[in-house]
Amino acid sequence: MSLKNLKNIFNLNLIIVFIIFFLDRISKEYVVNLNQKTQIPEIFSSKYLDINLIWNEGIAFGLLSLGQSNLYNLLTLIIFVITFIIIIIAIRNTGFKKYAFLMIVGGAIGNLYDRIIFKAVPDFIDLHVGDFHWFIFNVADIFITIGVIFLILFELIDINKESHE
Known catalytic residues?
123, 141
The vertex-83 CA angle with 98 and 122, nearest 5°, equals: 110
DSSP 8-state secondary structure symbol assigned to residue 145: H
Give one DSSP letter per residue of 82-123, joined into a string: HHHHHHHHHHH--HHHHHHHHHHHHHHHHHHHHHHHHSSEEE
Q: How many residues does the chain have?
A: 165
Element (H, E) at 124: strand 121-129
Element (H, E) at 132: strand 132-133
Give one DSSP letter per residue of 29-86, joined into a string: HHHHHHHHHH--SEEEE-SSEEEEEEEE-SSGGGTT----HHHHHHHHHHHHHHHHHH
Cβ atoms of residues 100 and 150 within 8 Å: yes
